[in-house]
Amino acid sequence: MRRREVDVFNYYDDMGPGKGNCTWGAGILAHRGPCTKEELGRSVSQAEVDAEFARKVAQAERIVRINVTSQALTQGQFDALVSLTFNAGQRGASGTFDLVDSGDMKGAAANIAKMIKVTVNGKKVVARGLISRRTEEAAPFLEANQTAAPATTK
């Protein structure tokens, strides 16, 4: 996940100036909607980025463990769900959790793969950066003959 998230040491609008959501650090959502002028002037340190990224990943891991209880996951599946949860939030990942928990791994992969749109200025648009991310997150649910074992935390 860390290689997907570039460290930015200030607040920025994730879809370009005045578009998307106010974000900082390693893809950390500050709030929905563009940053204020004051936020755009706010800088953050490497230590702040590292600490908040670690906190958000741990939170995403807990959310996955709470929401997927009926199926054993491979480490790749667990990691993919953590990445999805980090990026889309618990509510955004909930449909995928339901599919995984019911054992519909192909359905989960399809659901992940279609999650490539974001709202910008009130319109749904394809976020090009999400296409490869979602393909990567969906892949562990498509791999045949996986031997699932309880996932561990990395």
pLDDT tens-digit profile, the chain (154 residues): 888 888 999 999 999 999 989 999 999 999 999 999 999 999 999 999 999 999 999 999 999 999 999 999 999 999 999 999 999 999 999 999 999 999 999 999 999 999 999 888 888 999 988 999 999 999 999 985 455 555 544 4
Containing 13, the helix (H) or strand (E) segment is strand 8-13
**pLDDT for the residue numbered 64:** 98
Amino acid present at 91: R
State the angle between helix axes of 75-101 and 46-67 in degrees (0 to 180), rounded to the nearest 10: 50
CA distance readout (Å), 67 to 9, 56, 95:
32, 16, 10
Cβ neighbours of residue 61 closer than 8 Å, sequence gap 6 or more: 82, 153
Domains of the chain: 46-141 (1.10.530.40)
DSSP secondary structure string for all residues of 29-46: EEESSPPPHHHHT-B--H
| pTM for the predicted model, two decimal places | 0.88
**pLDDT for the residue numbered 90:** 97
**pLDDT for the residue numbered 119:** 84
**pLDDT for the residue numbered 29:** 93
**pLDDT for the residue numbered 151:** 55
